[in-house]
Amino acid sequence: MINAVGREIPEEILKKTGKEPFKGAYVYDNYEYTKAAPKARTMMDPKRSKLVENIHDVLVKCGIKDGMTISFHHHFREGDYVVNMVMEEIHNMGIKGITICASSLGKANDPIVPYIEDGTIVGIQSSGVRGKIGEAISTGKLQDLAIMRSHGGRVRAIESGEVRIDIAFIGAPTCDEYGNMRANGGKSDCGVLSYAMVDAQYADKVVAITDCLVPFPNIPASISMINVDYVCVVDEIGNPAKIATGAAKPTTDVRKIMMADYCTQFVINTPYFKNGFSYQTGVGGASIASTISLGKIMEERGIKMGLGLGGITTPMCDLLAKGLIDKIVDTQDFDMGAIESIKSNPNHIEISASEYADPFNKGAYVNKLDFVILASLEVDVNFNCNVVVGSDGMITGAQGGHPDTAAGAKCTIVIAPLLQGRIPAICTNVTTVTTPGETVDVVITDYGIAINPRRQDLIECMKGVNLPFCTIEELRDKAYAIVGEPDPVQFGDRVVGIIEGRDGTIMDVVHEIKQYEFKD
């Protein structure tokens, strides 16, 4: 069946998953449903301890068995040790058929690939995967379909009961013996624990894993003891050097700075750029440069941001410190500056992934965004974006909050250099659709800027603005004139994964990768 972004979703996949094809970004608005609820076990005897000696014992106490679904968060990013540590023990115990439901998985988790190959792990549900796990999925080593969900979509899947988490493992930079977890302090500071909050509320068993046990009560807690079954202390939950790097130096790449300047000029010429506006940006060089150049104009014109949202980097915190932002509302910290800021600045506030982006709660922050500045591997002439599958057909990225913020923001801007080597970023058809074009308003490249024709209002307000506007087809044609017209990636027949829309429908499927063949 062809879905609303023109993608063929095989009937067998619809049948197998019980899902519907994507029908549009807002068709589930006002939808009524009953939330799922976890099993809980009471804790009445004050003499009983939640502390468990090691991962093995905690797995036994949680009743680990074949076929369970377990969950993790990715706040330790490329410095994470928790996933590998738990999976190694599960593997050693001879457990099979595990499904991992993680907020994301990165290269740090490459060591679990052998467990995919030997059937310890049969399912992966994640915002995305990089490195060797992506290769394993793309080459058909995972038994079940991989499911790629946005950050908001993951919360929806858990809250609606589509996914039932048997055991949630939550790495906590600090924790007390009763399970109050905080993201700050200890050896593995990560700033916030936003993605893990829903796991704590909806998993049947919740395990805190920490390398810094602190005296009770560890408050204010990001995750409260009331949801925690066990606390396990280990030597190290992560590598601090890789959890948060120093603030990235502002880019000196003229191309990125140029695109950032285009972006800033665009932003300030929209009607949304006024006192109290809300804004989110990613961590790419051009996104950060946009924040910096926008900050200068805010200062010049005395315009303050009311809300800065999302994954946070130092340049946003600098604006907060200067009084140019009223509140930063934070779900992830990308560098040391952001972590320091949330510790010390009372206007820098931790929220849950549900508050951030969940389409199935009663209103998330993304819906209040004026601007979001995003990146994309590919954008097609219908403004559909691909942020998950690489140009070689391999799964290599994550949806993150891309589809959530795009759907929520009044003005969604995607910045992408027109060419990455020989690969055109603007193309006729993206390899895989992850964010529907109806939610993407503007594409900024080094060769020109295209506004989505659905946004005649934006086209109107850019009349007379001195920026290199053109159509998205013109951008594609410029790219093809330089590099040639690319052939589509040659995939195998087998579907290895699905890209889930934030409402739980199927946005696209990912096929198994195939050795390239010359066809005459």
Partner 1 sequence: MIHPNKKRLRRSMMFLNCQKPGLIKDPYIYKPDSIMLDLEDAVAENQKDAARYSLYHALQEIDYRGVERVVRINGLDTPHWKEDIRVCVAGGADTIRIAKTETAQDVHTVEEHVLAAEREFGRPEGSTLLMAALESCKGVLNALEVCKSSERLIGIALSGGDYTKDLQTVITGTGVELQGARQQMIIAARAAGVQCWDTVFTNLDAMDVFEKECEMIKMMGFDGKSLVNPRQIAVVHKVFTPTQKEIIFAEKVVKEIDDKKAKGIGVFTVDGKMIDIAFYDGAKRTIALAKASGVYEGDL
Partner 2 sequence: MEVKKAAVAGTLESSDAQVTVEPGNGSIELSIESSVIHQFGKQIRKTVLETLDRLDVKDAKVNVVDKGALDCTLKARVECAVYRSNDITENLPWGGVIK
467 binds, among partner 1, partner 2, none (CB under 5 to 8 A by kind): none
**Residue 443 beta carbon to partner 1: minimum distance, rounded to whole angstroms:** 16
- What dihedral angle (degrees, nearest 10) is formed by the CA atoms of 188, 191, 195, 201? 90
96 binds, among partner 1, partner 2, none (CB under 5 to 8 A by kind): none
**Residue 387 beta carbon to partner 2: minimum distance, rounded to whole angstroms:** 18
Which residue carries 């310890």 as its tokens? 120
Distance CA 144, CA 12 (A): 14
Residue 50 or 478: the one with the smaller Cβ distance to partner 1 is: 478
Which ranges of 74-167 would DSSP assign to H, the alpha helix?
A: 82-92, 113-117, 131-138, 151-159
Contact window for partner 2 (CB under 8 A) among 36-44, 108-116, 308-316, 487-495: 487-495
Distance CA 230, CA 244 (A): 27
447 binds, among partner 2, partner 1, none (CB under 5 to 8 A by kind): partner 1
Cα 327 → chain centroid:
21
Q: Which of 252, 300, 518, 519 binds partner 1 (CB under 8 A)?
A: 252
HSE-up of residue 294 (Cα within 13 Å, Cβ side):
35
Nearest Cα residue to 505 out of 243, 256, 147:
147
Question: Bridge partners of 279?
Answer: 308, 371
483 touches partner 2 (CB under 8 A): yes
Site for partner 1 in 255-314 (CB under 8 A): 255, 258
Residue 49 or 420: the one with the smaller Cβ distance to partner 2 is: 420
- Contact yes or no for 330/350 (Cβ under 8 A): yes
Site for partner 2 in 415-444 (CB under 8 A): 420-423
Site for partner 1 in 337-356 (CB under 8 A): none
Sign of CA dihedral 409, 412, 415, 418: positive
**Residue 292 beta carbon to partner 1: minimum distance, rounded to whole angstroms:** 15
463 touches partner 1 (CB under 8 A): no
State the distance between the two ends of the chain, measured CA to CA, in whole angstroms: 30
- Binding pattern for the stretch 340-379 against partner 2, x by CB under 8 A and - elsewhere: ----------------------------------------
- Contact yes or no for 231/178 (Cβ under 8 A): yes
Site for partner 1 in 4-33 (CB under 8 A): none
- What dihedral angle (degrees, nearest 10) is formed by the CA atoms of 472, 477, 480, 482? -110
- Contact yes or no for 316/305 (Cβ under 8 A): no
490 binds, among partner 2, partner 1, none (CB under 5 to 8 A by kind): partner 2
486 touches partner 2 (CB under 8 A): yes
Residue 349 or 482: the one with the smaller Cβ distance to partner 1 is: 482
Q: Which of 13, 43, 226, 419 binds partner 1 (CB under 8 A)?
A: 419
Q: How many residues contact partner 2, by CB under 8 A?
A: 18
423 touches partner 1 (CB under 8 A): no
What residue ranges bind partner 1 (CB under 8 A)?
Answer: 252, 254-255, 258, 419, 446-447, 481-482
